[in-house]
Structure 1
Amino acid sequence: MERHATSAELKARAKGQLLGKYGTIIPAILIVEIIMFAITSVITLPLDTQTMPGLIISFIIECLLQLFAGIFIAGQTYLYLNISCGGNIRVSDVFYGFTHHPDKAILIQLYQLLLMLASFVPLFLLLALWMVIDSLYMLIPITIAFCFGLVASVIISLMYSQSYFVMLDFPDFSAVQCLRFSRKIMKGSKARRFYLDVSFIPLYLLGFLTCCIGLLFVIPYMNTTYSNFYLELMSKRNGGNVQ
């Protein structure tokens, strides 16, 4: 039976790879967060979310911002993949996605967003029906639909979690090919990745308790671990040789 690196082993690698690099990583994180916060604030501030039209517009804007964020995700993935591969990193790496197939980064994000929204369609329909029927009995199917959507969205997230890594590793792939390849290499590894995700929850909570300052260290640690997870997936696929 093929042995995979444990969560602890992947994290240990990440810790070693991050030594001496926080001086570059922290400014990179802050730049992305400040830019996204500024854009979100400027666009959503005039909206009145107390009204239905305001809520709908706010939701649409949030979806568009998620698509735009895909470009930054590509850049951040490039940064952390460089760390895991022992390459040199710069703060400007987070803008890598703007000069290397930004359309592909947006499409990858779009496909995932549409799939996740589709998983909640039953919930949206039941909520609309509840507004007409106005019965407490509707809470049961609504709860079931919510749980279904939540589980489905988690599975979708796990299936396509390697898409941006694949995009960087195989620049000739289309967005759809990146998604398909991610789904392929994640077969049999979704539970391992889910366990890895869950294992970071306590650190995230501690990060929030420090007024989010701790997250400046938790986020790089988590993302570098994810990069090592991808490299290990590829090494197993390539018979032990990472591209």
Structure 2
Amino acid sequence: MLFIIPNLVASFKKELFYPLKSDNIIVLFILWKGMVIMMSNYKSFSELKRLARVQLQGKYGTLIGALLIQELLVFFVSGLPAALLPGTDTLSNTLYYIVSFIIQLIAGVLQAGVSFMYLKAACGMEFGIGDIFYCFRHNTNKAIKIQFVLAVINAICMLPSDILTWKYPITSLEAYDEIIMMYSVALLCMLVYVVITLAFTPVFYMMLDFPNYTVKDIFKNSIEVMKGNKMRYFLLDLSFFPLMFVSVFTCGIALLWVIPYMNMTSTNFYLDLMSCRTKQNQADEF
């Protein structure tokens, strides 16, 4: 729409000065609708980040506390499969991946709670550390189903890396070629997963924002909303790389501030998407 409006203006420049005809009315309508769409442009990265910094003022303590609890829980629970199933035989490996898959589902429910907490914070509502456990009490089944889909996609994407690990286990740190190959394949698999799941970035936000949506509706609307915005979100995430890199020199301590900053910016990205979508839908109704 934005690309055809200048041509319309040029084509009908003279006609618009004459008494209104049906064609003129159509042109004016298209121009007006185009202006509405232009007014609903997405916020820039700097605007989203600036808004996040304002929203984070006075809230870092709670968000950092929630982050520490989340990371500690994920860290200890993620270590259970290796501790309970130390063997390398086929049965142990199979059980290991089954248990790991179940843990991913639990971690997804926790992540949904984190999304709930940041939505409340971004909207100026009261929130607390306990909000990260919200989805263990509400919408648990829906959160598990959503995470199940994401976990299956992850399992499929990581399958080549897992097969290599099973067939060619590394028994010595001196096997440099094998280690490089393993990490290269794993990195490629992770990249494929990231590209595929960019379309599903707002699924937990949507689950909380639209409680009447089914899981199918959530994924369908997520794909629709992210159409044309996947690269924007990827670049937004990438823009935090300098802060992540600098955090290395603080032994990761700075991440306690960087991660909430990233999460709040991502939440604002979602809210901005939905706001623009609402404006466009309103324009389409006229």
Indicate if the aligned counterparts of 1:116 and 1:153 stay in contact, CA closer than 8 A.
Answer: yes
Question: Which residue is equivalent to 1:23?
Answer: 61
Indicate if the aligned counterparts of 1:78 and 1:168 stay in contact, CA closer than 8 A.
Answer: yes
Indicate if the aligned counterparts of 2:161 and 2:186 stay in contact, CA closer than 8 A.
Answer: no
Q: Deviations over 1:22-80 (max 9, x none)?
A: 12111111122222223333453233255554444333322221110111111100111
State the alpha-carbon separation in 2 of the partners of residues 39 and 144 from structure 1: 27
State the alpha-carbon separation in 2 of the partners of residues 147 and 19 from structure 1: 36
**Which segments of structure 1 move beyond 6 Å, counting only runs of 4 or more?**
142-148
Indicate if the aligned counterparts of 1:71 and 1:102 stay in contact, CA closer than 8 A.
Answer: yes
**Unpaired segments of 5 or more residues in structure 2?**
3-37, 169-181, 282-286
Query: Which structure would you say has the larger Rg?
Result: 2
With the length of structure 2 as denominator, give the TM-score of the two structures: 0.72
Structure 1 residue aligned with 2:85, among 47, 54, 62? 47
Question: Which residue is equivalent to 2:267?
Answer: 227
| Structure 1 position 12 matched with structure 2 position 72 | no
State the alpha-carbon separation in 1 of the partners of residues 156 and 68 from structure 2: 32
AA of the residue aligned to 1:12: R
**RMSD of equivalent CA atoms:** 2.9
Indicate if the aligned counterparts of 2:81 and 2:100 stay in contact, CA closer than 8 A.
Answer: no
Structure 2 residue aligned with 1:218, among 254, 258, 275? 258
Q: How does 1:54-133 map to 2 (within 5 A)?
A: 54-121=92-159, 123=160, 127=164
Q: Give 1:209 deviation, angstroms.
A: 3.0
Q: How does 1:176-187 map to 2 (within 5 A)?
A: 176-187=216-227
AA of the residue aligned to 1:10: L
Question: Which residue is equivalent to 1:174?
Answer: 214
State the alpha-carbon separation in 1 of the partners of residues 153 and 101 from structure 2: 13
Indicate if the aligned counterparts of 2:117 and 2:132 stay in contact, CA closer than 8 A.
Answer: yes
Q: How does 1:179-198 map to 2 (within 5 A)?
A: 179-198=219-238
Q: Deviations over 1:155-179 (max 9, x none)?
A: 2221000000100000111222211
**Unpaired segments of 5 or more residues in structure 1?**
132-141
Greater shift in the superposed pair: 158-167 or 48-57:
48-57
AA of the residue aligned to 1:7: F
State the alpha-carbon separation in 2 of the partners of residues 219 and 144 from structure 1: 26
Name the SS for the 2:279 alignment partner.
Answer: coil
State the alpha-carbon separation in 1 of the partners of residues 184 and 77 from structure 2: 35
Mark the CA change 1:94 to 1:120 in structure 2 (over 3 Å): closer, same or farther: closer
Name the SS for the 1:45 alignment partner.
Answer: helix
Q: How many residues align?
A: 231
Q: Give 1:92 deviation, angstroms.
A: 0.8
Greater shift in the superposed pair: 105-114 or 197-206:
197-206
AA of the residue aligned to 1:226: S
Mark the CA change 1:202 to 1:23 in structure 2 (over 3 Å): closer, same or farther: same
State the alpha-carbon separation in 2 of the partners of residues 9 and 228 from structure 1: 10
Greater shift in the superposed pair: 143-152 or 196-205:
143-152
State the alpha-carbon separation in 2 of the partners of residues 52 and 125 from structure 1: 13
Greater shift in the superposed pair: 220-229 or 24-33:
24-33
Q: Give 1:215 deviation, angstroms.
A: 1.2
With the length of structure 1 as denominator, give the TM-score of the two structures: 0.83
Structure 1 residue aligned with 2:278, among 208, 233, 238? 238
Q: Deviations over 1:165-203 (max 9, x none)?
A: 100000111222211111110001001001011112222
Greater shift in the superposed pair: 6-15 or 205-214:
205-214
Greater shift in the superposed pair: 168-177 or 28-37:
28-37
